[in-house]
Amino acid sequence: MSYSRRQLLRLATGAGAASLLAACAGPGGSSSSTSTTDGPISFAHWRAEDKEVFEQIIKDAKLSVRQDISPSNDYQSTALQKLRGGSVGDAFTAFRGAQFLEIAKAGVWTDLTGRALVAKYEPNLITAGAQDGKQLGLPYQLVFNTPLANRDLVTETPKDWDGFLALLETLKGKGVTPIAWPGGDAANAGQLLNVMVVNNAPTDDALGKIETGEAKVTDDWFLTVLKQYQQLTPYLQKGATGTSSDAALALFAQGKAGLLATGSFQVSGVRKLGATFPIDLLAPITTTADKAKYEGVFNATFILGVNAKSSKPDAAQAWLDHLSDPAVAGVYANGTAQHVTVQGVEYTNADLKALAPWLTRKTALAPRFQFSNLDVRGAVENAAVQVVGGKSPEEAAEAAQKVVDQKK
């Protein structure tokens, strides 16, 4: 095939114009999906460990759904940009807090208020998916961000801080690591902060107030939190600040640690590594028994939604309808060892049955997600890591507060 010079010039001009237009996508420029309504819908989420269960649900229902799974940190960082395009995530999930709010601000949630599927959920467990009176998303999974306990090793449940330290000493005496903590993995290291804060904080929204400037990292109550981290340090595994999440999980699953300071979302991971011991939840009560407000922490993460930019909204809504059926939600719950917010679900998984009493216990909504600025959250969480690494609580708090002041 040969071209004349004029044709080549036109081709070059066309290519240049196209690239210029592509580069001109600035503020307010949104790219709408050009995909057809044929083919599977995209279900975007971050829980790779749920892939098989979702595949089974999709197969059983003969639905045309493709899972687009990203690692949780990447999902936190980039999901919104992908969802805005509409080609990924016809149905999608979001983290509670900053990501939920950002997606709302970008107008990507489809308002589900008044739709039949909403009535299938426990109303007080889906408030994290509502904004300005609209039910934008449906928190699906109910996780407890409360340390896991190996009940073969941990036979008591301390009711106060001194009792907790005594328990750790007993565990140490048995020759096991009292607490496995993934201090080298920022995302999972922060889980412990939830339970360290809930009873120490003067108000339930105290962490959020640090970001707004109404409270400080250097306030007495947060210094108490950091000093308690310092007290925990001798009971954490060797090299705790450099330990990955997988390594901490392995220590616990192998019975070498009494507690795993993450949460119920890792129960299935522990079982996959071959652990057969009974698992319970056990939060450090950081105050005296009479001052303790909460026994643990839960979170309403994994908020399901329909993408307003999708070209297949009906199919995406049908997928959510299906997931909201108690029988299907039961398949998800029992297959992933996670509780769900759908009403009338029968838990057959042994771990879920064992942890079911926690559904009615006094637990707080995880405070860590009150931060909307990830730099502020990182600075506050890093203060705790630095204390475990040997820095004084006062120094760590001051360094963190400086960052908060700069970033808020």
Question: Given the rule CB under 8 A, which residues bind another protein?
Answer: 5, 8-9, 11-13, 15-20, 22-24, 26-28, 71, 73-74, 76-78, 80-81, 84, 102, 105-106, 183-187, 237-244, 247, 250-251, 373-375, 378-379, 382, 385-386, 389, 391, 399, 402-403, 406-407
Q: Determine the residue type at 83.
A: L
Mind giving me the DSSP string for 346-400?
PP-SHHHHHHGGGGGS-EEEPGGGG---HHHHHHHHHHHHHHHTT--HHHHHHHH
> Which residues are 305's β-sheet partners?
92
Task: Identify which of residues 17 and 119 has a Cβ nearer to another protein in the complex.
Answer: 17
Task: Identify which of residues 78 and 127 has a Cβ nearer to another protein in the complex.
Answer: 78
Task: Identify which of residues 160 and 185 has a Cβ nearer to another protein in the complex.
Answer: 185
Q: Token pair for residue 9?
A: 């010039």
DSSP conformational letter for 2: -
Task: Identify which of residues 14 and 202 has a Cβ nearer to another protein in the complex.
Answer: 14
Task: Identify which of residues 125 and 397 has a Cβ nearer to another protein in the complex.
Answer: 397
Using alpha carbons, select from 219, 224, 168 the residue that is nearest to residue 196. 224
Phi, psi of 115 (to 5 degrees): -75, 150
State the nearest-atom distance from the C-beta of 208 to another protein, in Å: 16
State the nearest-atom distance from the C-beta of 195 to another protein, in Å: 20
Q: Round to whole Å and give the CA distance between 355 and 275.
A: 16
Task: Identify which of residues 17 and 327 has a Cβ nearer to another protein in the complex.
Answer: 17
Q: Count CB neighbours of 363 within 10 A.
A: 22
Phi, psi of 338 (to 5 degrees): -125, 140
User: In terms of DSSP bridges, do strands 65-69 and 148-150 run parallel, antiparallel, or are they unpaired?
Assistant: unpaired
Q: Round to whole Å and give the CA distance between 266 and 144.
A: 10
State the nearest-atom distance from the C-beta of 169 to another protein, in Å: 21
Q: Round to whole Å and give the CA distance between 300 and 396.
A: 30
State the nearest-atom distance from the C-beta of 44 to another protein, in Å: 16
State the nearest-atom distance from the C-beta of 7 to another protein, in Å: 11
State the nearest-atom distance from the C-beta of 389 to another protein, in Å: 5
Q: Determine the residue type at 340.
A: V
Task: Identify which of residues 17 and 166 has a Cβ nearer to another protein in the complex.
Answer: 17
Q: Count CB neighbours of 346 within 10 A.
A: 12
State the nearest-atom distance from the C-beta of 209 to another protein, in Å: 19
State the nearest-atom distance from the C-beta of 6 to another protein, in Å: 10
Q: Token pair for residue 407?
A: 């970033």
Task: Identify which of residues 46 and 140 has a Cβ nearer to another protein in the complex.
Answer: 46
